[in-house]
Amino acid sequence: MAVIAMEDRPPTNDDATLSAADLACRQGPEPERAGKHQEAIEAYRRAVESAPENYLHRYILGRELMERGRQEEALVELAKAADLDATQFYPHYRRGEILEELGRLDESAVAYREALSRNPDWALGHSLLGGVLDDLERYDESVVQFQEAVRLEPNFVGAMNGLAIALKYAGRLDEAEACYRKAIEIDPEWECPYYNLARLFRQNGRLEEALEYYDRYLALKPDDPGGLVERAYTLDEMDRYAEGEEAYRAASRLKPEDGELYMEMGNMLDRAGRLDDALSAYSEAIRLEPENSTIHFNVGVALSNADRYSEAAESYRRAVELNPEYATAFAGLGKSLRHQGVYDAAESALLSAISLDPENGDAHYELGCVYEEIGRIDKARGELELAVASDDEDVVALAREALLGLT
C-alpha cells in the first residue's frame, strides 16, 4: 500500500513551479523551528485553504495542532486528511494517539485498527493497539496484538513487556513470566521488566524472588521511591521489618512531602509491635497531609488494636469529618465507642457505616455486639446473622461464636 516516506515533511520543489498552497505550506517549518507555533499553524491553514483537497497539507496541519495540544482541532483535520487519501495510515495513527491521550479508548482502538488495516505489518501499531485493549481490560485481544508485534519484530522489547502484562491480567502467569524474562534478555539495561516481574512474584507469594528482582530494578533506577516502597512492602510481608523501615526511610528521603509514605511505614511498624514508632510515623504523615482521612483512619486502627479506644475514637471521628462517606471509619468509630460503653453513639456510628455499605460485615458484627450488651437480643441475633453472611472470614468466625453465646 502507498504510504508517504516522510510523514511530517512539507512539500519541496526546486523548479519554481510551486502552487500557492505549496508555497504557504513551505512557510510553516521555519517559524515552527523558531518556536513560533501559531505562525506555523497559520501558514499550514493557508495551505489548506488554497488546496482543501490536498491530503499532505491537511495532514501536516493536523499534526502541528496535535503537537501544540489543540487536540480537538487536530482530530478534525486528521479525519479530513484520512478521507482525502484512504491509503494513508498516518492520520489514523495520530488520531489513535490523541484519542488515547483524551481517555476515549474505544475510539482510539478503532483508529489504531484503521491504521493497521492500511499497514498490517506495522509492529508499533499492533503494540499501541495492544496497550489500549489492555487499558480496556480486553486482555485476550490485547495478547493477540502484542503477539503480532513481537512476531513482526522479535526484539521489540516494549511489545514483549506489554505482552507479559496482558498475559498476567489474562491469568496466564507462566507465560507472563517467560515474556518478562525474554524482555530482560533483549535489553538487560531497561528497568521496567525487572519491576514488573518482581510485582508478579510478590503477588503470587514468591517473595524471595520478588525481592531479588526489586533489587535488580533498583540497581538500574536507584532513585525511584515507588520501587523502594514496593521493596518495603515485600520485606514487610516477609516479617523483615527493620529492612522494610530502611526502605521506607530511603523512599521518604526522595519524597519528603509524601504523607502516605509515612502512613505505610506506620502501618508496618504497628504490625511489628512498635506502636510508639508507628505513632511517630503517623504524626509525620498528618503533619504533611492533615486533611487525608485515610491517615487518620489508620491511626485509629493502630490505637484500637492497642485497646486505646478513647484515642482511637478521636482519630476515627476526624476521618469521618474529612470524609463523610467513609463507611469503614464509621465502623471503627462504632467499635471504639462500644468498648467505652457509649452505646447510643456507637449504634449511631454503626448504622451510618451500614447505610453507606450494607455489606460491611464488621459493622453488622459490632452492632450485634452493641445490641447484645444492652439486652436487645433479637436485634443482636439479626445483626450477627448478617455478619455471618459477609465475605470476611474473621468476622464470620467472631459472629458465629457470638451467636452461640446469645441467651
Residue 18: per-residue pLDDT: 42
Residue 6: per-residue pLDDT: 38
Question: Measured between alpha carbons, how far is 134 from 146 in angstroms, rounded to an integer?
Answer: 10
Of the two residues 10 and 311, the one the predictor is more confident about is 311
Average pLDDT over residues 33-46: 79
- pLDDT surpassing 50 at residue 103: yes
Residue 407: per-residue pLDDT: 67
pLDDT in tens, 278-337: 999 999 999 999 999 999 999 999 999 999 999 999 999 999 999 999 999 999 999 999
Tell if the pTM clears 0.75, that is, is over it. yes
- pLDDT surpassing 80 at residue 181: yes
Q: Counting beta carbons within 10 angstroms of the beta carbon of residue 357, is it exposed (0 to 12), middle (13 to 18) or buried (19 or more)?
A: middle
- pLDDT surpassing 60 at residue 20: no
Question: Measured between alpha carbons, how far is 56 from 6 in angstroms, rounded to an integer?
Answer: 11
Mean pLDDT taken over the chain: 92
Residue 17: per-residue pLDDT: 42
Residue 11: per-residue pLDDT: 47
What's the per-residue H, E or C state across the chain?
CCCCCCCCCCCCCCCCCCCHHHHHHHCCHHHHHCCCHHHHHHHHHHHHHHCCCCHHHHHHHHHHHHHCCCHHHHHHHHHHHHHHCCCCCHHHHHHHHHHHHCCCHHHHHHHHHHHHHHCCCCHHHHHHHHHHHHHCCCHHHHHHHHHHHHHHCCCCHHHHHHHHHHHHHCCCHHHHHHHHHHHHHHCCCCCHHHHHHHHHHHHCCCHHHHHHHHHHHHHHCCCCHHHHHHHHHHHHHCCCHHHHHHHHHHHHHHCCCCHHHHHHHHHHHHHCCCHHHHHHHHHHHHHHCCCCHHHHHHHHHHHHHCCCHHHHHHHHHHHHHHCCCCHHHHHHHHHHHHHCCCHHHHHHHHHHHHHHCCCCHHHHHHHHHHHHHCCCHHHHHHHHHHHHCCCCHHHHHHHHHHHHHCC
Domain residue spans of the chain: 1-118, 325-407
Residues with Cβ within 8 Å of residue 163, at least 6 apart in sequence = 130, 143, 146, 147, 149, 150, 179
Q: How confident is the model at residue 5 (pLDDT cuts 50, 70, 90)?
A: very low
Residue 362: per-residue pLDDT: 96
Q: How confident is the model at residue 35 (pLDDT cuts 50, 70, 90)?
A: confident
pLDDT in tens, 57-79: 899 899 989 999 999 999 999 99
CA-closest candidate to residue 39, choices 48, 50, 47, 30 = 30
- pLDDT surpassing 60 at residue 145: yes
- pLDDT surpassing 70 at residue 3: no
Residue 322's identity, in one-letter code, is L
- pLDDT surpassing 70 at residue 23: no
Residue 50: per-residue pLDDT: 85
Q: How confident is the model at residue 240 (pLDDT cuts 50, 70, 90)?
A: very high
**CA dihedral for 178, 180, 186, 188, sign (positive or negative):** negative
Question: What architecture does CATH give domain 1-118?
Answer: Alpha Horseshoe (1.25)
Domain 325-407 fold is 1.25.40
Residue 28: per-residue pLDDT: 53
Residue 30: per-residue pLDDT: 62
- pLDDT surpassing 50 at residue 85: yes
Residue 292: per-residue pLDDT: 98
pLDDT in tens, 342-356: 999 999 999 999 999
- Let me know if the fold of 1-118 is the same as that of 325-407: yes
